[in-house]
Amino acid sequence: MASKIVIVGSAVGLHARPASVIAEAAGQYSDEVTLSVAGGDPVDAASALLIMTLGASKGTEVTVESDDPAAVDRIAGLIQQDLDAS
């Protein structure tokens, strides 16, 4: 399983808009993509609601995992961006 640890780049953390963008991207892959923070259970990255339950603010380390390395790279890249800036 591919895995990558990234830092949340969005100024507001993984709240509604960033979570929606990430969930939409994760939903395009047939393999499950999960996100987790230290001490927490993994959540389905294709669900904006579950992403928001992580409570990840700007600067939080998030682990992205999937059997699809391309999915991990794409979702990790989105998490690192300030998705509220665009």
Catalytic residue of the set 8, 15, 29, 45: 15
Q: Rounded to whole angstroms, how far apart are CA atoms 55 and 30? A: 26
CA distance 54 to 35: 8
82 is catalytic: no
DSSP calls for 55-72: ---TT-EEEEEES-HHHH
Q: Which of 76, 65, 11 is nearest to 36 (CA)?
A: 65
Which residues have a catalytic role annotated?
15
